[in-house]
């Protein structure tokens, strides 16, 4: 064998050049453009025999001249596409030819198409990626938020598919229901059209449109009359998106809430028993499994969506990093001892837990001297927390802020822990009021919490109630978690114009920064005069600049999220709200509302208009530090809602 190199053996420079050129062209297309190989899968189950293409002309179909291939028995494909291409990937599932691994013994009965908006989003083509594509939203994280809303899935539900979802899971069932809609619309669906998502949603089967149901039966049918004493109960939970097969659970229930408790439609606190029945439940309507839940009545909110909208916004890609955790809530219809009691929001309650606010749970043994976190506290004007000779969880700061230590509670907290958290709050308040220092605070959490609250002009957010703060241990992985953080968000039923005091029905004027309460319902509640951290924190120029920058960065996505979410929630509630307001006929009446509307459509239209007008006004207030001081500062009398 001659060991000379090929060029040496060929000896012809021209031939060498020709061979080199051929080698280069081997990695290029026929026209000399660079090509790349992408790999992925077509997944509902694994779909074999599907055509996959790069949709170069954007018509939502695989045309002859477009790069194309077919999936193998595992649903996998390899496709050569022009390098840097950003067009959609289309999968055509062929009737009588393609096969789904969920039903491997028979071919697919009806043709349909799925898509991914681009290879940069995912090379796996699934029912969920199809909805991301037809949403028309090019910010893919926001698109996923909107898809979850349309499907009735909670904010943090993972809709990415790297493998076929487990049979019997919620993700598997929802994917199958999406395919039903894709089959029904295949002949006419223009995936690139502005109304593509609307067309698919209109074809959703009832499994994706009917609200879940919760049937509650108290032991011996006894009424629920206390916010402190639980009543034993059984629960039957049905989630049509998963199956009509119910989950039967044991547990207990009591009342909860402040102003809503005692109204005709009451809110409740539910705790499920940790037994064999509970062990069978994989999740709760897509939310992480936990035994503790709040049933929010939303009695004052005749749109039935203010809590859902605000909490989902806090968990969305619009606010991705400032707030560590925001509760999720899912609409459902409730029956209590056989009586239909309307639409509720099954909501994650606020607690330190790996499935909720995931910070350290401290030892309750004094000898362990475990004192630096985690803590959970609430600003609460009512000081509705334990005060005894042994332990006092109440703290009124020198400037008047009323705070309850929530976690650890009176049964778990040590004296050293109580002293630590009270001292931390006193130091943070002294720094803020004394010199506008915020060294002990995580400014991003305060900025994002403030922006959501001010957008909704939430009456309780001016350091009145349901204003939560937390701190993790000094050993927390994130340095920001070691500081005092604002959040989680909570209690928005009387926000976004749905209130008839403090002028908080107006879209103009800042509220959360107010130093005063105007027209408080009672003298006791007015004691918070001049004791609101948010009336002082903006004197810190760095915090002001941070907050205005975060508003401007979030503003484009914010408007799209708000309007699309109002559309999605009102559609999902369309039938259930009729039953709710037949049971509670309160349209055209005054509860805590300034404006009175005759029907559900008017309530929803007002909510949408309020938030859009509010965003427009806040654009003016947040245009510059000078604009903020003029419109939201201490001399603007912003609490009075004068429309400055």
Mean pLDDT of the chain: 93
Q: Is 202 helix (H, G, I), strand (E, B) or coil?
A: helix
3-state DSSP: the chain helix, strand, coil percent, rounded to 5? 35, 20, 45
Q: How confident is the model at residue 627 (pLDDT cuts 50, 70, 90)?
A: very high
Residues 6+ apart with CB under 8 A from 128: 147, 159, 160, 161, 175, 178
Calculate what percentage of the chain has a pLDDT beyond 70.
91
Give the gyration radius of the chain's Cα atoms: 28
Distance between CA atoms of residues 344 and 348, nearest Å: 13
Q: Is the pLDDT of residue 360 over 60?
A: yes
Q: How confident is the model at residue 253 (pLDDT cuts 50, 70, 90)?
A: very high
Cβ-contact 249, 273 below 8 angstroms: yes
Distance between CA atoms of residues 166 and 377, nearest Å: 39
Tokens 């953080």 belong to residue: 485
Q: Is the pLDDT of residue 493 over 60?
A: yes
Indicate the domain borders of the chain. 1-33, 37-205, 213-348, 366-640
Going by their DSSP bridges, the two strands 329-336 and 292-296 should be labelled as unpaired
Q: Is the pLDDT of residue 584 over 50?
A: yes
Average pLDDT score over residue span 472-497: 98
Calculate what percentage of the chain has a pLDDT beyond 90.
89
Average pLDDT score over residue span 520-540: 69
Stretch (H or E) spanning 270 = strand 268-272
Burial class from Cβ neighbours inside 10 Å (0-12, 13-18, 19+) for residue 6 reads exposed
Q: Is the pLDDT of residue 2 over 80?
A: no
DSSP assigned state of 531: -
For 256-298, write each residue's pLDDT tens digit. Answer: 998 899 999 999 999 999 999 999 999 999 999 999 999 999 9
Q: Is the pLDDT of residue 366 over 70?
A: yes
Residue 580 token pair? 């709710």
pTM of the model: 0.92
Return the pLDDT at 531. 82
Cβ-contact 621, 631 below 8 angstroms: yes
């Amino acid at each position: 064998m001659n060991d000379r190199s090929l060029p040496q053996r060929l000896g012809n420079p021209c031939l060498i050049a020709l061979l080199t050129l051929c080698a280069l062209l081997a990695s290029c297309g026929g026209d000399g453009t660079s090509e790349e190989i992408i790999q992925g899968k077509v997944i509902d189950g694994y779909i074999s025999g599907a055509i996959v293409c790069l949709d170069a002309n954007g018509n939502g179909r695989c045309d002859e001249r477009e790069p194309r291939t077919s999936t193998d028995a595992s649903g996998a494909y390899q496709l050569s596409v022009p390098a840097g291409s950003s067009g959609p990937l289309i999968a055509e599932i062929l009737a009588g030819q393609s096969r789904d691994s969920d039903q491997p013994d028979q071919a697919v009965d009806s043709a349909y198409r799925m898509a991914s908006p681009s290879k940069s989003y995912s090379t796996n083509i699934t029912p969920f990626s199809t909805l991301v594509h037809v949403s028309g939203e090019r910010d893919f994280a926001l698109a996923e938020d909107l898809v979850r809303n349309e499907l009735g899935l909670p904010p943090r539900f993972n809709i990415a598919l790297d493998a076929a979802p487990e049979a019997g899971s919620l993700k598997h069932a929802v994917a199958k229901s999406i395919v039903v809609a894709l089959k029904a619309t295949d002949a006419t669906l223009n995936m690139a059209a502005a109304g593509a998502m609307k067309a698919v949603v209109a074809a959703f089967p009832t499994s994706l449109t009917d609200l879940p149901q919760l049937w509650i039966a108290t032991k011996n049918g006894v009424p629920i009359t206390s916010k402190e004493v639980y009543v034993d109960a059984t629960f039957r939970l049905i989630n049509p998106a998963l199956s009509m097969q119910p989950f039967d659970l044991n547990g207990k229930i009591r009342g909860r809430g402040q102003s809503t408790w005692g109204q005709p439609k009451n809110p409740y606190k539910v705790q499920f028993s940790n037994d064999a029945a509970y062990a069978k439940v994989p999740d709760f309507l897509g939310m992480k499994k936990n035994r503790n839940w709040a049933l929010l009545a939303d009695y004052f909110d005749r749109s039935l969506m203010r809590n859902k909208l605000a909490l989902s916004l806090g968990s969305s890609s619009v606010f991705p990093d400032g707030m560590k955790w925001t509760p999720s809530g899912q609409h459902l219809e409730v029956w209590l001892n056989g009586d239909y009691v309307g639409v509720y929001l099954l909501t994650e309650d606020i607690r330190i837990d790996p499935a909720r606010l995931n910070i350290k749970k401290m030892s309750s043994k004094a000898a362990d001297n475990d004192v630096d976190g985690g803590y959970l506290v609430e600003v609460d004007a009512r000081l509705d927390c334990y005060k005894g000779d042994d332990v006092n969880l109440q703290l009124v700061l020198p400037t008047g802020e009323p705070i309850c230590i929530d976690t650890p509670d009176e049964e778990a907290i040590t004296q050293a822990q109580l002293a630590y958290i009270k001292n931390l709050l006193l130091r943070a308040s002294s720094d803020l009021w004394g010199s506008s220092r915020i060294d002990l605070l995580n400014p991003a959490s305060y900025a994002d919490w403030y922006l959501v609250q001010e957008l909704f002009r939430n009456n309780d957010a001016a350091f009145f109630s349901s204003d939560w703060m937390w701190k993790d241990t000094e050993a927390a992985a994130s340095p920001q978690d070691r500081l005092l953080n604002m959040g989680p968000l909570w209690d928005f039923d009387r926000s976004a114009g749905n209130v008839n005091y403090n002028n908080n029905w107006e879209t103009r004027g800042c509220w959360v920064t107010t130093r005063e309460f105007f027209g408080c319902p009672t003298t006791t509640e007015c004691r918070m005069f001049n004791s609101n951290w948010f009336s002082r924190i903006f004197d810190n120029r760095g915090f002001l600049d941070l907050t205005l920058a975060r508003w401007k960065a979030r503003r484009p996505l914010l408007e799209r999220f708000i309007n699309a979410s109002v559309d999605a929630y009102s559609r999902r509630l369309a039938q259930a709200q009729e039953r709710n307001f037949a049971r509670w006929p309160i349209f055209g009446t005054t509860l805590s509302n300034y404006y009175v509307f005759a029907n559900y459509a008017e309530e929803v239209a007002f909510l949408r208009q309020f938030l859009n007008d509010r965003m427009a006004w806040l654009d003016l207030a947040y245009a510059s530090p000078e604009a903020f001081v003029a419109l939201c500062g201490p001399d603007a009398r912003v609490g009075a809602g004068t429309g400055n």
